[in-house]
Amino acid sequence: MAQEEGGSLSEVRARVGASHGITDLGHKLHFYDRWAPDYDQDVAALQYRAPRLAVDCLTQALPGPPHAALILDVACGTGLVAAELQARGFLQLHGVDGSPGMLERARARGLYQNLSLCVLGQEPLPSSEGTFDAVLMVGALSDGQVPCSAIPELLRVTKPGGLVCLTTRTNPSNLHYKEALEATLDRLEQAGAWERLVAWPVDQWELATSELEVVPRTSDSDGFISGIVYLYRKQEGAQVEGLRPSPQPPAGL
């Protein structure tokens, strides 16, 4: 591993490593509430690249001017994805997250037109079918966060022809989840719900929290874990098992 400066990186690695190890959703959300004030500086210290990579991928594929696209940021956290979107000209941004503490930080950025509390996997997204030009979920696909069974809900709120961008870690501790995720993604594609446009493996996703998580065939001094960005386009007239209409959403989203 690269030498740590002043012990601060060691503390960050311990916090992020602890978050990766929590598999109970309630405990995870409580952890994120407490982590919210330090979250941005911690992930910056780990050189977390997923928000920028996901938005780069989406921007290249989305037709039309960015300012005209209505975007949903699922598991939006403190708003790191929104900052990347705004920098590329996206202005119509909605966000949902299961952590009130994270939503408070996201609201303080002033980048979202609407923010809602939603624990995806336990409740539907508070939006009507076919609302958004694109839906992103960055950094929430792992054990103890969003279950694979919730993926069809992202498709439900996406317009026909719209895009869905997802990310997950591919380090050793997340490989079991990644396998289950890819099985879900493939099942939806085989059913005609969407088509895969991109599956982009990235070696330098973020700094590893332990030597056991380092990308194979890289030196300890590199110290990065790997990840992957997926991009799908929703098919016109998609009818897939699991894409059930949700209850009427509250006004505002």
Instruction: Determine the Cα–Cα distance for residues 84 and 66; give it in Å rounded to an integer.
Output: 12
Judge residue 82's burial from the number of C-beta atoms within 10 Å of its C-beta, 0-12 exposed, 13-18 middle, 19 or more buried: buried
Q: How many CB atoms lie within 10 A of CB 124?
A: 17
Q: What is the pLDDT along the chain (253 residues), one digit of tens a residue?
A: 343 443 488 899 999 888 888 988 899 999 999 999 999 999 999 999 999 999 999 999 999 999 999 999 999 999 999 999 999 999 999 999 999 999 999 999 999 999 999 999 999 999 999 999 999 999 999 988 999 999 999 999 999 999 999 999 999 989 999 999 999 999 999 999 999 999 999 999 999 988 777 766 554 446 899 999 999 999 988 665 554 444 434 444 3
Give the pLDDT score at 239: 65
Residue that the structure tokens 């879900």 belong to: 184
Give the pLDDT score at 217: 58
Give the pLDDT score at 143: 87
Residues 6 or more apart in contact with residue 205 via CB below 8 angstroms:
48, 49, 50, 169, 170, 171, 224, 225, 226, 227
Single-letter residue type at 99: S
Structure tokens given for 226: 């790997």
- The string over 163-173, giving b where at least 16 C-beta atoms fall within 10 Å of a residue's C-beta and e elsewhere, is bbbbbbbbbbb
Give the pLDDT score at 178: 97
Give the pLDDT score at 218: 52
